[in-house]
Structure 1
Amino acid sequence: MAEDGEEKLLATVQHIVQTLGSSDTMTEDILKVFSNYDGRLSLDKLYAARGAAAAAVAAGGGGGGGERSLPASPPLPPPPQAAVSGSAARPPPVTSMERTVRTLDRQISQFVTMNRLIWADSVDADTFLEAVDDLIGTVQELDAAGTNRVLLDRADELLSRCMARLEDEFRALIERPDDAAPLAPGGFGSDGSDDEEFYGGADGYADEPIPIAKPVTDYDVVIDALSPGSIANVHQIARRMVDAGFGRECAEAYAAARRCFVDESVARLGVRPRTAEEVHASPWEELEVEIARWIPAFNMVFRILIPSERRLCDRVFDSLAPFGDLAFIAAVRTQAIQLIAFGDAISSSSRSPERLFRVVDMYEAVRDILPDLDPVFSDPYSAALRAEVSAVCNTLGSSIKGIFMELENLIRRDPARVATPRGGIHPITRYVMNYLRAACGSRQTLEEVMEGDIGAGGRAAVAVDPDRSTSSLAVHIAWIMDVLHKNLDTKSKIYRDPSLACIFLMNNGKYIIQKVNDSELGVLLGDDWIKQMTSRVRRWSMDYQRTTWGKVTTVLQIGGPGVGALPAKAMMQKLRMFNTYFEEIYSAQSEWVIADDQLRMDVRGAVEDSVMPVYATLIARLKSSPETGRDLFIKYTPEDVQAHIEHLFEGGAN
Structure 2
Amino acid sequence: MGIAVAGMDSLSDRASMMREALQKSQTITDNVVSILGSFDSRLSALETAMRPTQIRTHAIRKAHENIDKSLKSAEVILAQFDLSRQAEAKILKGPHEDLEGYLGAIDQLRSNIRFFSSNKNFKNSEGVINHSNTLLAKAISKLEDEFKQRLNSYSKPIEPDRLFDGLPNSLRPSSGSPGNQGEPGGRGPSHNHSEHQNVDLETAVYTPPTLIPPRIIPLLHDLAKQMVRAGHNQQLLKIYKETRSLVLEESLRKLGVEKLGKDDVQKMQWEVLEAKIGNWIHFMRIAVKLLFAGERKVCDEMFEGFDSLSDQCFAEVTASSVSVLLSFGEAIARSKRSPEKLFVLLDMYEIMRELHSEIETIFKGKACNEIRESALGLTKRLAQTAQETFGDFEEAVEKDATKTAVLDGTVHPLTSYVINYVKFLFDYQSTLTQLFQEFETGDGKVSQLASVTMRIMQALQTNLDGKSKQYRDPALTHLFLMNNIHYMVRSVRRSEAKDLLGDDWVQIHRRIVQQHANQYKRNAWQKVVF
Tell me whether the two structures share a fold, i.e. TM-score over 0.5. Answer: yes
Q: Is 1:331–2:313 an aligned residue pair?
A: no
Candidates 63, 79, 100, aligned match of 1:126: 100
Per the TM alignment, residue 433 of structure 1 is displaced from its structure 2 partner at its CA by 0.9
SS at match of 1:452: helix
Query: Equivalent residue for 2:137?
Result: 160
Amino acid at match of 2:324: Q
Q: Is 1:107–2:53 an aligned residue pair?
A: no
Q: Is 1:582–2:520 an aligned residue pair?
A: no
CA distance in 2, matches of 1:263, 1:486: 52
CA distance in 1, matches of 2:442, 2:111: 59
Query: Equivalent residue for 1:302?
Result: 288
SS at match of 1:223: coil
Candidates 471, 482, 490, aligned match of 2:458: 482
* CA distance 1:376–1:287, shift in 2 (3 Å): same
CA distance in 2, matches of 1:269, 1:363: 22
Candidates 348, 356, 368, aligned match of 2:354: 368
Report percent identity of matched pairs.
Answer: 27
Amino acid at match of 2:163: A
CA distance in 2, matches of 1:371, 1:451: 18
Q: Hey, which of these two has a bigger chunk of helix by percent?
A: 2
Note if contact 1:499-1:548 (Cα within 8 Å) is conserved in structure 2: yes
TM-score using structure 2 length: 0.70
Per-residue CA distance 1:387-421 (angstroms, 9 max, x = gap):
32222122112221122122123223321646421
CA distance in 2, matches of 1:143, 1:421: 102
Residue pairs, 1:133-144, within 5 angstroms: 133-137=107-111
Amino acid at match of 1:536: I
Residue pairs, 1:249-648, within 5 angstroms: 249-415=235-401, 417=403, 419-452=405-438, 468=446, 470=447, 472-549=448-525, 552=526, 581-582=527-528
CA distance in 1, matches of 2:431, 2:159: 41
* CA distance 1:209–1:525, shift in 2 (3 Å): closer
CA distance in 2, matches of 1:230, 1:214: 24
Gaps of 5+ in 1: 1-94, 113-117, 179-204, 454-459, 553-580, 585-654
SS at match of 2:208: coil
Q: Is 1:169–2:119 an aligned residue pair?
A: no
Per the TM alignment, residue 240 of structure 1 is displaced from its structure 2 partner at its CA by 0.7
Note if contact 2:350-2:431 (Cα within 8 Å) is conserved in structure 1: yes
Amino acid at match of 2:454: A
* CA distance 1:175–1:436, shift in 2 (3 Å): same
Query: Equivalent residue for 2:73?
Result: none
Per the TM alignment, residue 315 of structure 1 is displaced from its structure 2 partner at its CA by 0.9
Per the TM alignment, residue 501 of structure 1 is displaced from its structure 2 partner at its CA by 1.1
* CA distance 1:224–1:391, shift in 2 (3 Å): same
SS at match of 2:92: helix
Per the TM alignment, residue 100 of structure 1 is displaced from its structure 2 partner at its CA by 8.6
SS at match of 1:268: helix
RMSD over equivalenced CA pairs, Å: 3.4
Note if contact 2:398-2:463 (Cα within 8 Å) is conserved in structure 1: yes
Query: Equivalent residue for 1:613?
Result: none
Q: Is 1:233–2:187 an aligned residue pair?
A: no
Note if contact 1:104-1:135 (Cα within 8 Å) is conserved in structure 2: no
Higher relative contact order (CA 8 A, sep 6+): 2
CA distance in 2, matches of 1:308, 1:425: 54
Per-residue CA distance 1:39-66 (angstroms, 9 max, x = gap):
xxxxxxxxxxxxxxxxxxxxxxxxxxxx
CA distance in 2, matches of 1:414, 1:344: 29
SS at match of 2:307: coil
Per-residue CA distance 1:174-201 (angstroms, 9 max, x = gap):
23249xxxxxxxxxxxxxxxxxxxxxxx
Residue pairs, 1:50-129, within 5 angstroms: 103=85, 106-107=88-89, 110-112=92-94, 118-119=95-96, 121=97, 124-129=98-103
Query: Equivalent residue for 1:246?
Result: 232
Name the larger-Rg structure. 2
Per the TM alignment, residue 346 of structure 1 is displaced from its structure 2 partner at its CA by 0.9
CA distance in 2, matches of 1:273, 1:364: 22
CA distance in 1, matches of 2:483, 2:269: 36
Q: Provide the aligned length of Structure 1 versus Structure 2.
A: 415
Gaps of 5+ in 2: 1-76, 169-204
Per-residue CA distance 1:478-504 (angstroms, 9 max, x = gap):
111111111111111222222221111
Which is worse superposed, 250-259 or 336-345? Answer: 250-259
Note if contact 1:329-1:381 (Cα within 8 Å) is conserved in structure 2: yes
Note if contact 1:213-1:266 (Cα within 8 Å) is conserved in structure 2: no
Note if contact 1:451-1:462 (Cα within 8 Å) is conserved in structure 2: no
Note if contact 1:214-1:269 (Cα within 8 Å) is conserved in structure 2: no
TM-score using structure 1 length: 0.57
Per the TM alignment, residue 518 of structure 1 is displaced from its structure 2 partner at its CA by 1.7
CA distance in 2, matches of 1:507, 1:273: 49
